[in-house]
């Protein structure tokens, strides 16, 4: 993949969503699932149906085109293409390109997945060992 000049926008220019918006997508994506494996599989099916492919993404500083989603190695991954080569990349390592601060459906879906994948510290359950 060819590395691009990718100075990250400040957080004020990135689309932001309310916790309610994120929770609504998480509920839609994981309804009637039991356990992490079913939830992950449900996310793949949901994102496959709901994401508007293809779309440009930035993967750790590299520009690529997202063309699909699948579960690989126990992770939800995007199939991306860059300079004629295809790669499977963890969805959490991808960022939409040039949303221009505007909210769109793909932004919301990726933000909701990230929120589900890595909840805030207040949402974590700890078990004493």
- Which of 102, 87, 100, 47 shows the shortest CA–CA distance to 69? 47
Predicted TM-score (pTM) of the model is 0.78
Residue 123 predicted with pLDDT over 70: no
- What's the average model confidence in pLDDT over 17-39? 94
As a whole number, the mean pLDDT across the chain is 82
């Amino acid at each position: 993949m060819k590395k691009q000049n990718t100075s990250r926008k400040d957080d004020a220019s990135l689309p932001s969503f309310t916790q309610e918006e994120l929770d609504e997508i998480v509920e839609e994506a994981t309804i009637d699932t039991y356990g992490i494996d079913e939830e992950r599989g449900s996310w793949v099916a949901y994102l496959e149906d709901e994401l508007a492919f293809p779309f440009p993404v930035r993967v750790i500083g590299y520009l690529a085109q997202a063309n699909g989603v699948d579960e690989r190695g126990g992770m939800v991954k995007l199939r991306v293409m860059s300079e004629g080569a295809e790669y499977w990349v963890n969805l959490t390592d991808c960022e939409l390109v040039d949303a221009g601060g505007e909210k769109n459906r793909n932004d919301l879906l990726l933000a909701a997945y990230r929120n589900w994948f890595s909840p805030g510290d207040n949402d974590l359950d700890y078990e004493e060992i």
